[in-house]
């Protein structure tokens, strides 16, 4: 059988088991004339049991409007947030901790990501995942007790921020007065 001619390679992030014709899937596949529902059904079938993860998928579109796809491992950041039980990473990673993960959790994430990383040994993969964790403000600790301690500190800080009153905003009258002063100045 002759090789099919590749028309395009499409890279998307889709929630596992929840691909549907809505953006980003529909427009990305539709512009290449692919059957969107066929992809959605096949993707959802292959990703059953991984719900809650956003998975990268590489779709190869052929000239005859057929396609194949490869599902990659979830992004390291998603796996780290899941392991640390946090919703979002720290905005200032070097100064503020968002959570913590143990070395054992790092090892499990590295095993999951190993086939998609640019290293073949587990130690190198662990260092890559640890670097991602640091850039997200997630501390890498040795024991579960240390993780719980950091988690308690983070939760206490969040609770304190919620109780503290928000800084008062400038009164609208002051802002409009400044605006009038600017308009009144001769140019």
Enumerate the domain spans of the chain: 6-71, 76-163
Between the two ends of the chain, the Cα-to-Cα distance in Å is 77
Cα 110 from chain centroid (whole Å): 16
Give the per-residue pLDDT at 157: 76
Please give the pLDDT value at position 134: 86
- The domain 6-71 having CATH identifier 1.10.40.30: the answer here is no
| Class for the domain spanning 76-163 | mainly alpha
pLDDT value, residue 168: 53
Structure-token pair, residue 91 = 């905005």
Secondary structure of the chain as H, E, C letters: CCCCCEEEEEEEEEECCCCCCCCCHHHHHHCCCCCHHHHHHHHHHHCCCCCCCEEEEEEEEECCCCEEEEECCCCHHHHHHHHHCCCCCCCCCCCCCCEEEEHHHHHHHHHHHHHHCCCCCHHHHHHHHHHHHHHCCEEEECCHHHHHHHHHHHHHHHHHHHHCCCCCCCCHHHHHHHHHHHHHCCC
pLDDT along the chain (187 residues), means of 10: 79 85 82 85 86 86 87 86 78 75 88 83 88 85 79 76 62 54 56
**Whole-number pLDDT of residue 140:** 84
């Amino acid at each position: 059988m002759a090789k099919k001619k590749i028309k395009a390679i499409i890279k998307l992030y889709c929630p596992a088991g929840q691909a549907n014709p809505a953006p980003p899937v529909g427009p990305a596949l539709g512009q290449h004339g692919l059957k969107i529902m066929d992809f959605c059904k096949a993707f959802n079938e292959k990703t059953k049991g991984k719900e809650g993860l956003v998975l990268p998928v590489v779709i190869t579109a052929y000239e005859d409007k057929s396609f194949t796809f490869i599902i990659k491992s979830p992004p390291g950041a998603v796996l780290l947030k899941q392991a640390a039980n946090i919703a979002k990473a720290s905005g200032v990673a070097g100064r503020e901790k968002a959570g913590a993960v143990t070395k054992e959790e790092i090892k499990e994430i590295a095993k999951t990501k190993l086939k998609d990383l640019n290293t073949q040994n587990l130690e190198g993969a662990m260092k890559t995942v640890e670097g991602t964790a640091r850039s997200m403000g997630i501390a890498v600790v040795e024991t579960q007790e240390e993780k719980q301690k950091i988690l308690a500190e983070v939760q206490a800080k969040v609770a304190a921020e919620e109780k503290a009153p928000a800084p008062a905003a400038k009164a609208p009258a002051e802002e409009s007065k400044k605006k009038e002063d600017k308009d009144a100045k001769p140019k």
